[in-house]
Amino acid sequence: MLENNRSGPVAAVSASGRAPKVLRCADVHGVRCDTEWTAPTVRELVAAAMDHGMAEHGFTAVYYNGPRMTAIRHAVIDS
């Protein structure tokens, strides 16, 4: 008897839903601030952080240079 008929079901459970992401001002700007943002995409979080940082903390566009943007993206937490 041959027993090579093993075609088990393939469970393709993908979590590609909209898991909310969180970004905290303190992690972005290194200031004492309790503001945090929740959004489905990193892009929205970064935009919110930039708006907030410039309006509330006096940062300028120069602050948000390439390396800084990378650091900000890395500060995003998957919740």
Please tell me whether residue 45 binds Zn ion under the rule CB under 5 A. Answer: no
Nearest to Zn ion of 25, 72 (CB atom): 25
Residues near 23 by beta carbon (within 8 Å), at least 6 away in sequence: 36, 37, 39, 45, 46, 48, 49, 72, 75, 76, 77
Length of the chain equals 79
The minimum distance between CB 21 and Zn ion, in angstroms, equals 17
For Zn ion, which residue of 33, 39, 69, 77 counts as binding (CB under 5 A)? 33
5 touches 26 (CB < 8 A) = no
Among 5-13, 23-31, 40-48, 67-75, the segment contacting Zn ion (CB under 5 A): 23-31
Please tell me whether residue 46 binds Zn ion under the rule CB under 5 A. Answer: no
Binding residues for Zn ion, per CB under 5 A?
Answer: 25, 33, 35
